[in-house]
Structure 1
Amino acid sequence: MKGGVWRVVMLGLAVAAAALVFLGVEITQLAADDRTAFTRGLAICGLGLLAVWFVFSRLSRHFRDLGRLSDRLSGARGRVDLEPISGGPGGELARLAEAASLARGGERGLGDGPLGAGPFGGGRADRALRAVLALANDPLLVLDELGRVEQLNPAAARLLAVEEGADIGKSLFRDDLARAMERARGGGAPVTAVLRRIEDGELSARIADLGLSAGAILSFPARGMAHAAGLSGKRTLSLRAAQAAGPLGDEEPLAALPFVALWVATAGVEPDSGPVIAIGTVRLVGSRIFPTVSLALLIDPIDPVPPEATARHGIGTAMVAGERPFAAVWPAIQDALHNCIAVGIGIDSSVAALARSAAQAGIADPALPPSLDLGALAAALDPDLADAPPDRLAEAFGVPRHPRNASQEEGPQREALFQAELAVALLSRLTERGILTQGQARALTAGAGAQVSPQASP
């Protein structure tokens, strides 16, 4: 950042130094006979030159730090910056860097104190992390809670073609990453996942969650995995095994249960026949929907999609032609359903369709989730809604129903989001009725009535 101000200051210092040298020469000529005046004059000139050198060194360091700050904010940094900022945390440049950090959402890394504070502690810990990133051979990067790249090493920059401050969603599919981060947070330990690239190919990664609203660390190990980082190709079912599901017993409160709204489209002439050609999921916990933790996939069934199936869900042969087969996308589907209760209208048919396609693809023991039918819940709350179509249920429970537009992956995602919103509306009604646990909800749908405590009764 050595522009016009730098040149003017350096010219002024050069003129001052030249003037002091000239003054020293004049003193030696005029006061040569007066030893006291000669010594005093040279001492004054020497002190002046020392002052000029001190100002020069301070200004050089100041402008160098301004250049570092400019590179940091512009994302043009080419090296790991471990040097503390001049002036300390209380200096004006440090305060300027802190203000810029706050304006950019808390970016860290130039100095000690507030600017270097974050999920890793103070500036020393932040610099230590940068050193670790620089020394690691495998690609490593740190993401914030919004999916921005906070820090990365050169190997990660080359692998993903990203830089600090960039949105990771431009390199990797957010759906895969969000599900992996959720599994890491839920299990309390790093997890292995296969992340799809926006361009062709997939990456094997290890994800460690840093805590709520603190982001995550991603590692792409190149050794000891079935697919090395950076290699593309079809995903193998033996790459990793799904973690064991946690308990989702009847005594678990509905408000804390992990649900996944599931929508499935098949290519059969009848609704409950044919292979799966589209799937949409949206995660929710109780009445809280996580629309970013979603999955929308189109699947090529090889054979043409009958017109009857297209009329039913709007997905035709041209839309699924060239998509991956069911066996290739099954790991992503399994991740989306992992350790959740599947909910949806006619959910048992959807789960059965997945089981049927898994069997046809040669997938043994697909470990499908338990299910809770939203249509049966609605009929239990209001018998007039028995066998009601989705539009009727949407009207009855005040859930918006958007027009069909199944272009690319919008259709499955929109349908899954509708199922999630309907589930939230039904859970609210169940709470009003005093139905608070999974066991009570299942008893209600079974027609046995819910065992509600007197305190919970309306």
Structure 2
Amino acid sequence: MKGGVWRVVMLGLAVAAAALVFLGVEITQLAADDRTAFTRGLATCGLGLLAVWFVFSRLSRHFRDLDRLSDRLSGTRSGIDLEPLSGGRGGELARLAEAASLARGGERGLDDGPLGDGPLGGGRMNRALRAALALSDDPLLILDEQGRVEQLNPAAARLLAVEEGADIGKSLFRDDLARAMERARGGGAPVTAVLRRTEDGELSVRVADLGLGAGVLLSFPARGMAHAAGLSGKRTLSLRPAQPAAPLGDEEPLAALPFVALWVETAGKESDSGPVIAVGTVRLVGSRIFPTVSLTLLIDPIDPVPAEATARHGIGTAMVAGERPFAAVWPVIQDALHNCIAVGIGVDSALAALARSAAQAGIADPGLPPSLDLGALAGALDPALTGASAGRLADAFALPRHPRSGPQGEVLFQAELAVALLSRLTERGIVTQGQARALVAGGDAQTSLAHPPPT
């Protein structure tokens, strides 16, 4: 966009600035003896230079916005662009961008038409989307690429105090949102993030990319919204009273039990030592995985992460630098584990690591959930798998191969392994929690008899 017009305008401004400077020099020479005329002349030149600078800054912003608008329309931009166009929604560039969006199949003008090619589809699809938003109890809203609210349900309107067409930057920090959008787009899957509110507090959110030019969908879990995901804007501990837990007795069927796959890594030289630096959870009910009800967190341990720990899990000091400390994120972790049975390979070690970090953070009673070790359960089902590695278990149960780097990939593997084991238990006629625990206890007893401790 910065072609001939840009060069002509900048040349004109340069000439005007040079003329004002020349005029100022002449005034100093001609009116040196007249202090009043000298002061008035220099003040006039100064105001002229300020006016030239103001025009220059406005035109620079205008031409830069033209470049951004061109990138948006051509789809060649390299990142998420949340900065508003100059002039606000009433500016000529903003109106031009809105008109271009409508011409490409935007929301207005398609309400009664057939299915279209716009980012949100045509009229029937748009009405279906609105109905889906209205039926959801969770706060949901759709943002366009510029951070403007395109659609939202009443729960989101109440939570964020925004309406359609509003700038989300008035409710949430744009930097946090832009990073979450980049992660969702780069990973090709919904991501969990914590967004700071422009007022006091923070919100946990799931961010899903809707495709190039179509914006993103934000989903805020309804549970715990009144407490802003358990985190305050001052990074202080704010535990809410624990909700009464439903009984998870031995007679409860495995198919109806609430499970949470748990993955924890520490900054210790050994896996069972050091502060917690990464946590991942995924919720399950029986053999059904709910990947959108998940949590992935990196935690700043304050001290540098030893090289031995980084070699073990790939998380180094630079990755966790600037993240929240354990005390600040514990309420979110506690909420993810609440009223569930924690499952995972070595899940008891993971819970012990959480207990150690909770004690170091001054949390007297962390209220950790009951657990069921998937490694022990696999060994009870097949003694040949006793003490097997995660890779061997994946092969034994024909689990899908996908990247396992980071909390999200690791905990998803734990969830898939739990589903495979629950299916194998059902085939064996083991359908209750009590039967599963009895199987594990029997397997442990048999292993102890087969391999007695040294005397």
Bucket of the pairwise TM-score, normalised by the shorter protein: 0.5 to 0.7
CA distance in 2 between counterparts of 1:106 and 1:325 reads 42
TM-score (normalizing by structure 2): 0.56
Counterpart in the other structure of 2:255 = 255
Deviation per CA, 1:3-55: give whole Å up to 9, x if none. xxxxxxxxxxxxxxxxxxxxxxxxxxxxxxxxxxxxxxxxxxxxxxxxxxxxx
5 Å-filtered alignment, 1:26-65, equals none
Unaligned residue ranges in structure 2 (runs of 5+): 1-101, 117-121, 144-149, 182-192, 206-218, 445-455
For the pair shown, which has the larger CA radius of gyration, 1 or 2? 1
Counterpart in the other structure of 1:104 = 126
1:143 to 137, 140, 144: 140
Give 1:160 deviation, angstroms: 3.9
CA distance in 2 between counterparts of 1:254 and 1:311 reads 37
Deviation per CA, 1:212-270: give whole Å up to 9, x if none. xxx9997999xxx88899983314324x2231211111111111111111000011112
Q: Is the 8 A contact 1:391 1:401 kept in 2?
A: no
Give the partner amino acid of 1:346: G
Query: RMSD over aligned Cα, in angstroms?
Result: 4.5
Q: Is the 8 A contact 2:385 2:393 kept in 1?
A: yes
CA distance in 1 between counterparts of 2:315 and 2:386 reads 27
Deviation per CA, 1:145-201: give whole Å up to 9, x if none. 9996135379324684499xxxxx959979xxxxxxxxxxxxxxxxxxxx9316788
Counterpart in the other structure of 1:426 = 421
| Count of residues paired in the alignment | 299
Change (3 A) 1:361 1:394: same
Q: Is the 8 A contact 1:299 1:323 kept in 2?
A: yes
| Residue 155, structure 1, aligned to residue 161, structure 2 | yes
Change (3 A) 1:298 1:434: same
CA distance in 2 between counterparts of 1:325 and 1:308 reads 21
**3-state SS in 1 of match to 2:372:** strand
Unaligned residue ranges in structure 1 (runs of 5+): 1-69, 78-92, 109-114, 121-139, 164-168, 175-194, 208-214, 406-410, 450-458
5 Å-filtered alignment, 1:152-301, equals 152=157, 155-157=161-163, 160-161=168-169, 196-197=194-195, 203=201, 232-238=233-239, 240-301=240-301
Give 1:317 deviation, angstroms: 1.4
CA distance in 2 between counterparts of 1:385 and 1:116 reads 45
Counterpart in the other structure of 1:31 = none
**3-state SS in 1 of match to 2:396:** helix
**3-state SS in 1 of match to 2:312:** helix
CA distance in 1 between counterparts of 2:347 and 2:224 reads 36
CA distance in 2 between counterparts of 1:371 and 1:217 reads 24
Between the two proteins, what is the percent identity of the paired residues? 60
| Residue 438, structure 1, aligned to residue 433, structure 2 | yes
Q: Is the 8 A contact 1:204 1:220 kept in 2?
A: no
**3-state SS in 1 of match to 2:153:** strand
Give 1:284 deviation, angstroms: 1.0
TM-score (normalizing by structure 1): 0.55
CA distance in 1 between counterparts of 2:314 and 2:133 reads 51
| Residue 339, structure 1, aligned to residue 339, structure 2 | yes
Q: Is the 8 A contact 2:345 2:414 kept in 1?
A: yes
Change (3 A) 1:162 1:304: closer
Give the partner amino acid of 2:153: E
Give 1:354 deviation, angstroms: 0.3
Change (3 A) 1:438 1:173: farther
Counterpart in the other structure of 2:374 = 374
**3-state SS in 2 of match to 1:357:** helix
Change (3 A) 1:171 1:286: farther
CA distance in 1 between counterparts of 2:107 and 2:364 reads 48
